[in-house]
Amino acid sequence: MFRNGTIQGVVVRDIPKHVDERGWLSEVFRTDELDPSYVPVMGYVSMTAPDVVRGPHEHVDQSDHFAFLGPSSFTLYLWDNRPSSPTFGIRQVLCAGGDAPRSIIIPPGVVHAYKNIGGVSGMVLNFPNRLFAGEGKKNPVDEIRHESDPASPYRID
């Protein structure tokens, strides 16, 4: 059903590490480099154990802005599920993390999942453009989960 390619609206940026004797520093995002529709309104960090997959899921209104900095490496899977998109039906696979620090902005309607392919736990930052469960956490969560559907077309290699 899905064919490999590049998905319109997904923004991938390499994140340079500025290294010195103290360690390293990276700019994860700058608002002067973001489309205004992707400006973050919150941030969170998750730790994912080796060989663990998070997702696949998608959002109706929210864009995710992930930052994979390491120490582990991840494979990120994206599927364009937007019928009005010129790249509808495309699957895009990216590597990110310790070996390739990157930020990836994923627009609404793009199903996404990631797998820790490194030998250690890995940290992932997310700066979405919508509040989780809305103001005061009083609204339904904007998330369509596909993990438990045995007939899901969103398969992890």
Q: Tens digit of pLDDT for each residue in 5-48?
A: 999 999 999 999 999 999 999 999 999 999 988 999 999 999 99
Q: In terms of pTM, does the model score above 0.85? A: yes
* Rounded percentage of the chain residues whose pLDDT exceeds 90: 92
- pLDDT, mean of residues 100-111: 97
What is the reported pLDDT for 101? 96
- pLDDT, mean of residues 95-121: 96
Q: Does pLDDT of 157 surpass 90? A: no
What is the reported pLDDT for 99? 87
Long-range pairs of 8-11 with CB within 8 A, sequence gap ≥ 24 = 8/80, 8/85, 8/86, 8/87, 9/85, 9/87, 9/107, 9/110, 10/78, 10/92, 10/104, 10/105, 10/106, 10/107, 10/110, 11/35, 11/38, 11/103, 11/104, 11/105
What is the reported pLDDT for 37? 84
* Rounded percentage of the chain residues whose pLDDT exceeds 70: 100
How confident is the prediction for the chain on average, in pLDDT? 95
Q: Does pLDDT of 86 surpass 80? A: yes
Q: Domain map of the chain by residue range?
A: 3-133+140-145
- pLDDT, mean of residues 74-78: 98
Q: What is the CATH number that goes with domain 3-133+140-145? A: 2.60.120.10
